[in-house]
Amino acid sequence: MNIDIKLHKNDLPEDLDLGNICSFDGEFLGLNVRRDPLCLIQVSSGNNDAHIVQLNRETYDAPVLKKLLNDKNVKKIFHYARADMAHIKHYLKIDIENVLDTKIASKLARSYSENHSLKTLIKEFINIDISKQSQSSDFGGELTPAQLKYCANDVIFLHKIHDELNKILIRENRINLYNDCLKFLKTRVDLDLALFRDDIWSH
Ligand code: MN
Distance 140 CA to ligand 1 centre (A): 13
Q: What is the pLDDT confidence band of residue 1, given thresholds at 50, 70 and 90?
A: confident
Distance 77 CA to ligand 1 centre (A): 13
Query: Phi/psi zone of residue 19: left (φ > 0), alpha (ψ -120 to 50 degrees), beta?
Result: left
Distance 147 CA to ligand 1 centre (A): 10
Q: What is the pLDDT confidence band of residue 2, given thresholds at 50, 70 and 90?
A: confident
Distance 12 CA to ligand 1 centre (A): 18
Average pLDDT estimate for 126-136:
88
Contacts of 139 (CB under 8 A, 6+ apart): 27, 28, 29, 39, 40, 147, 151
Distance 154 CA to ligand 1 centre (A): 5
Is pLDDT above 90 for 134?
Answer: no
Q: Which domains does the chain have, with CATH numbers?
A: 4-193 (3.30.420.10)
Above pLDDT 70, what percent of the chain?
A: 100
The single-letter code of the amino acid at 18 is L
Question: What is the model's pLDDT at position 115?
Answer: 97
Q: What is the pLDDT confidence band of residue 143, given thresholds at 50, 70 and 90?
A: very high
Segment 36-81, tens digit of pLDDT: 999 999 999 999 999 999 999 999 999 999 999 999 999 999 999 9
Residue 108: half-sphere exposure toward Cβ, Cα within 13 Å? 24
Distance 173 CA to ligand 1 centre (A): 30
Average pLDDT estimate for 11-33:
96
Distance 13 CA to ligand 1 centre (A): 21
Distance 109 CA to ligand 1 centre (A): 22
Question: What is the model's pLDDT at position 73?
Answer: 97
Distance 196 CA to ligand 1 centre (A): 24
Picking from 39-43, 129-133, 160-164, which range would have the lowest pLDDT averaged per residue? 129-133
Distance 112 CA to ligand 1 centre (A): 25
> Of all helices (H) and strands (E), which one includes residue 147?
helix 145-156
Distance 27 CA to ligand 1 centre (A): 5
